[in-house]
Amino acid sequence: MRTSFFGRAAVSDPLRVFVIAGEPSGDKLGGALMAGLKQLRPDVAFDGVGGEHMQAQGLSSRFDMNELSLMGIAEILPKYRQLKRRIRDTAQAVVAMAPDVLITIDSPDFCLRVASQVKAASDIRCVHYVAPTVWAWRPGRAAKMAKVIDHVLALFPFEPPYMEAAGMECDFVGHPVVSEPKVSAQDAASFKVRHNLDDAAPLLLLLPGSRRSEVTRLGPVLGETLAHLAPQHPNMKVVVPAAGPVAGLVEDMARSWAVPSVLLDPREKPLGQAQAEKRNAFAAADFALAVSGTVALELSAARTPMVSVFDMGWISRQIIKRMVITDTGNLINLVSDTRHVPEFVAENCRADLIADGLRGLMQDPTLQLKAMADTMQKLGEGGEDPGLRAAKAVLKRL
């Protein structure tokens, strides 16, 4: 006999959870969820695939999560056979373990294929953390997902109706960005002093992405954008918080940029210190230039106005742009239902256009700052920790 954390019966067996994440943002979600599960069920045992955040919670990853950090059809094809083998081996490991629940986190191309093979061979309960963006593109994905997923943990409050209509249980658990530690004005000022950054000079945060494909494709565009800005802002400073898997690549690229940059390399510090220094940078910066993704919410939490950019390979671009059903991919724009974050995507991902967008933002960020505050409120800022909410949602339905 097993009990949930609500204490209706005595616990006789440990809780066994197989959990999978395939990229840094998913690893962060997984780490918070695992911490919540450990708080509610100290007897929990984990197996699966994850990165440094999940490993810090006790996971011994079956292989390097970075193998799965691919994006775009053209980027995935060369690794297809290897990914197919990883999908098969991971599904077999889940079935052999027979956990109480399989939790897959984002990375649908990998995770949902694993879940499909698990369901074909067992009746293991499958939970997927992060609802597919059916409100943005390929709405039919929800119905396909419902064939292998029992329960969805949603980051955004408008997502449960989409999932429930497709036949899945769904709980809005909030986004973990709202529970990140707040940076004091003193810590932000100390960050500038520590890195010799003039308090009177504009400080731009440059965020080139966490995947090698993103950095390789967009790094030169970002560097060219700095060259456009330099004549009007000769005193501008740039800080680049690099993701661990791409820090070396970013460092090499930054040497050729027109504006001197301070690289924050997370490989040089313990995880907690690296995260704290990144938060300090976000709080200290005046503006940000970021590759589109969940980093938009980190900037929103720090109230650092941003310009968003994104592009992919030509083949992927031609296919995906025919599937998109929304006019924005920026999470602040979506959650706040505004369009105050400038976006430069695909053919418009050009240095001259991006530089113009930054100049406009520097003149007046008021509307974007209001949209950021609204976004954080809707995502549960000031409420219960989303990792704990996610853990409760998982346990409630077991």
Consecutive sets of 10 residues in the chain, 398 residues long: mean pLDDT of each?
42 87 91 97 97 96 85 59 92 98 94 97 98 80 95 95 96 91 94 92 94 91 96 94 93 92 92 93 97 92 96 75 78 94 94 97 97 95 94 97
DSSP 58: T
pLDDT of residue 7: 42
Cα atoms found within 13 Å of the Cα of residue 388, Cβ hemisphere only = 9
Write out the two tokens for 384: 């219960």
Predicted pLDDT at 24: 86
Q: What is the pLDDT of residue 75?
A: 57
Q: Cα separation of 135 and 325, whole Å?
A: 7
- Contact present, 235 and 319 (Cβ < 8 Å): no
CA within 13 Å, CB half, 180 = 27
pLDDT of residue 304: 98
pLDDT at position 324 is: 73
Q: How far is CA 78 from the centre of its chain?
A: 24
- d(CA 387, CA 392) in angstroms, rounded, equals 9
Rounded Cα–Cα distance for residues 75 and 98 (Å): 33
CA distance 239 to 255: 13
**Quick one: pLDDT at residue 248?**
94
Spatial distance between the Cα atoms of 395 and 15, rounded to a whole number of angstroms: 10
Structure tokens given for 150:
């029992």
Q: Is the dihedral of CA 277, 278, 283, 286 positive or negative?
A: positive
Number of H helices, E strands in the chain: 17, 12
> Position 45: which residue type?
A
DSSP string, 81-119: HHHHHHHHHHHHHHHHH--SEEEEES-HHHHHHHHHHHH
- Within 13 A of 4's CA, how many CA atoms are on the CB side? 9
Which residues fall within 8 angstroms of residue 18, CB to CB, at 6 or more apart?
Answer: 46, 47, 48, 93, 94, 97, 99, 101, 102, 103
